[in-house]
Every structure is written in structure tokens, then in C-alpha cells.
Amino acid sequence: MHLTDVARTVIAYVASAAIVGLPVVVVGIVYGRLTRRRPPWLVAVAVVLLGLILGYALLASETAPAVRVTAILGIAALVAVTSLVGRLTLAGLVLIAAVSAWTAYAGARLVDALAAGRRIDPAVLLPPVVGGSVIIVIGISLIRFHRRYLARHPEAAAPPPAEPTARAWGAAGKAALGPSVLGLNAATGASTVVLFVGTLATVTAGHGQPILPALAVVAIGSIATGLAAAAAWATVWPPRSRRAFEAFAWLGEWGLERFGELTGGRVAPTIGNMRRYVGNTAERPEDRWIRVEVLAAAGKIDAAREMAARIPDDTPMGRAERLDYVTYIDWLGGGQGDPAALRDAVAAIEPVDGDDHLRADVALALSQVRRRIAAGDVDPVGPLRDVRDRLGPRADRVLVAAARRLAPGFLKVSTSFVVVITLLDRAFTF
């Protein structure tokens, strides 16, 4: 019997055991979560079993490009998620489990070829062995790095608080996005699905193609996938969440325009650029609002409070803006964040149907949303839906405008996905 046949048989038995064992382990995890008795190693076992299953699918899909690409995407997603949440040991285990079957099988083929005295084609047999071995080494390195890091920083291994504080910068914006699962609301979930499906379709179409046609498929598929993801983000919203977020985004778009005016439109309105602007430019009366935002985002509450108190209030809109930020920082620092004074300032802005008055209305609604968040209200964004009705057609296309700004990011992500998965698909081909 050839070593290749032995490897194939052993791998099949291991994969079968993983397929049977994974549901059992998942049940154990659910039971442990309900009873608060979950062993800490159970999640690692589940991740390894899932990695073994995906690795077997990768190996067994020689003539099924769609299955192979799906397996690669699944492995990449597992590694990305576990890495992003700081579980590098799990990421390393995923890599090792996912490519162990492939590496063993490729190694067995190489040994059989050498034992039979056949002339081997290095371009065919060596890349799978070398590539799989390199990925295993990377997985081991991730595990070792994570263990050394935890040894130096034991506090990082402590479980997060059961109920993180609701008084956080961006809490109102997060609430306006609507209900989420694993950090994805309906819009971001839809765009993620589009990225996954578009990547799968693109890599499958380019599978086995010569280099030039494959490059054309990658380019066209990346662009189409990124644009489709941006369109999905702009359109797939539950009606209640959409109304709340449109009001929030309408005010946010104005803030981005103001930042563009401060910089002469020379830099993109990103959080990083805003921080650099605050750190590298002298304070001016007209830019104190953005300084309050940056200081609040950095957790410098006292400095943000002092800056908010210096926002010019020589106009009705300026007075409302200063009171808005004073109220916000008070809430962020643990106070009541009472919007009574802000409400009076908003009422003084004329005309009542003008943009300034409506912007102040949205700011007032956000202050009410924050108070509801701190109080544990199950539907804190009701005030945003109410003010959205008063905005009328002004905010009808605000999500389209936001999607245009997000489109370059979606294109970068889709291109990265397609290129990486295409390279992996070609690497895992004998």
C-alpha cells in the first residue's frame, strides 16, 4: 500500500470524527454557557474540529472549485475573527488544524514519488508541502507569541466585564445602527454576505485560468464585489433602524463637511486625520467642536469639558452647540446630561424649519438617546426616529452619500479578499 493511500484513509477517519464530534462539543459549549460551567478549553476543541473539517473540505475538493474556495474563505474568516478578538492561540490552532491534512497528504505523495524513483516535478509537488509547512509554522508562532504575551500581561487573560459601561463615546451612534449580531447590524451583515459571495464567485470563475485571464477576473470581480457591498450597505436596513440612522447620519455628514472646511478639503475626514489635525494645529474658536470630539474619544473628559466651555456662543446656533457639547461631556463623565437648557437654546434658533434649527433638533434628540441608553431603555433611539420625520426629504439620500464615502473602503476589502483567496486557491492546487 502506498503512503498516499494510508494518508488518505487516516485523514478521512480524522475528518469523520471531527464531523461527529463538533456538534457534541457545541452542545457542551451551549450547556456550559447556560450553567456557567463551561471549561475554558472547550472552545479551543471546537475551533480545532472546525479547522479539521474545513481542511478536509479543502483537500477533498480537487474537482470542486466552489467548495475549495468556500473552505479557504471559512479558514480565513476563522483566523481573522479569532485574531481580531485577541485570541491568537485559537487563530494558530485554526491554521494548524486546517492545513495539517493537506500537508500530510502532499508529503505522502512526495515520499511515494521519491520511493518509486519517479522523476518529480518540483513546481507541482513541492509548493503544497512547503506552503502547508510554512502555514503550520505560522500557526505555532502565533500560539507561542500569544503565550509569551499573556505571561508578560496576565491582565489580558482576564474575562471582560459582564456589562460594559453604556456611557461611552459613540454610544448613541452605535445605538442608531440598530440591533446587531456579533457586532454586525443588518446593513453591515448584508455587505459582509455580498463580500463573501462576490469573493467566492470571483475566485471560482478564475480557478484554473491562465495568468492574464485570471488577473482580469480578479480586477473585474473585485470592483463589482466592492460596489455591490456598498450598495447593499446603503439599502438593506430595517425601516425603524433606517429612520433613526438617517437622522444621525444627516447630522454626521454636516460634521464631516465642517471638518473639510477647516482643512480646506485637503485630508479625508477620518478619525485618524481628525486626531492629527487637533495635535498639529493651533486652537481656533471655529474648531473647538472637533477638539471636544477628539478629546472625548480619547477619554480625556476633563480636557473635553474645558474645551466645550470655550465654544463660542455669540449666535443662537453657537449657544446650542456649546450647550450640546457641555451636556454630552457631562453625561459621558457620569452626570445626568440634562438637556433642559439645550432644549431652550434650540427653541431660540430661527427659522424653525431651517437647517440650523433641524441640526440642533437632531443634537437634542441625541442627548435624549444617551440618557435612555444610560437608563437601560430597550428602544433608546425613538427620539431620532421622531426628528427624522421633521427632516423630510433632506435626509432621503443621506445613506447613498455615506455609501459613496464608504465605497473606497469596500473596494479595498474586496480586492484584498479576492487577491488573497485567489493566491491561496492557486497554492492549494497540485
Return the number of other C-beta atoms located less than 10 Å from residue 280's C-beta.
Answer: 7
Q: Cα separation of 43 and 47, whole Å?
A: 6
Q: Where are the domains of the chain?
A: 1-159, 239-396
Q: Give phi and psi for 142, each to the nearest 5.
A: -60, -45
Angle at 207 between CA 205 and CA 211, to 5 degrees: 105
Of 102, 104, 50, whose CA–CA distance to 77 is shortest? Answer: 50
Of 325, 335, 330, whose CA–CA distance to 360 is shortest? Answer: 325
pLDDT at 102 over 70: yes
Query: Which residue has cell 433613526?
Result: 244
Contact 385, 243 (CB under 8 A): yes
Residue 405 bridge partners (DSSP): none
Contact 411, 227 (CB under 8 A): yes
pLDDT at 362 over 80: yes
Q: Write out pLDDT tens, residues 121-174.
A: 666 667 778 888 899 999 999 999 988 888 887 756 655 444 444 788 889 999
Q: Give phi and psi for 184, each to the nearest 5.
A: -110, 125
Q: Cα separation of 317 and 311, whole Å?
A: 11
Q: Cα separation of 426 and 408, whole Å?
A: 27
For residue 399, give the amino acid letter.
L
Q: Residue range 30-54: average pLDDT?
A: 79
Q: Residue range 104-127: average pLDDT?
A: 76
395 falls in which pLDDT band (50, 70, 90)? very high
pLDDT at 1 over 70: no
pLDDT at position 124 is 65
Q: Cα separation of 136 and 420, whole Å?
A: 18
pLDDT at position 345 is 94
Q: Write out pLDDT tens, residues 193-241.
A: 899 889 888 988 888 788 899 899 999 999 999 999 999 999 999 999 9
Three-state DSSP at 159 gives: coil
Model-wide pTM > 0.85: no
Q: Cα separation of 93 and 48, whole Å?
A: 6
pLDDT at position 301 is 93
pLDDT at position 164 is 45
pLDDT at 29 over 90: no
Q: CA separation (Å) from 379 to 178, 360, 391?
A: 9, 22, 21
pLDDT at 34 over 80: no
Query: Which residue has cell 483537500?
Result: 59
H/E segment holding residue 185: none
Q: Give phi and psi for 181, each to the nearest 5.
A: -125, 125
Q: Which residues have a Cβ under 8 Å from the Cβ of 260 and sit 6 or more positions away?
A: 269
DSSP string, 226-265: HHHHHHHHHH---HHHHHHHHHHHHHHHHHHHHHHHHHTT
Contact 203, 419 (CB under 8 A): no
- Biggest CA–CA distance in the chain, Å, is 92
Comparing 154 with 260, the larger pLDDT belongs to 260
Q: Cα separation of 81 and 207, whole Å?
A: 26
Q: Is residue 69 left, alpha or beta, with left meaning phi > 0 and alpha meaning psi from -120 to 50?
A: alpha
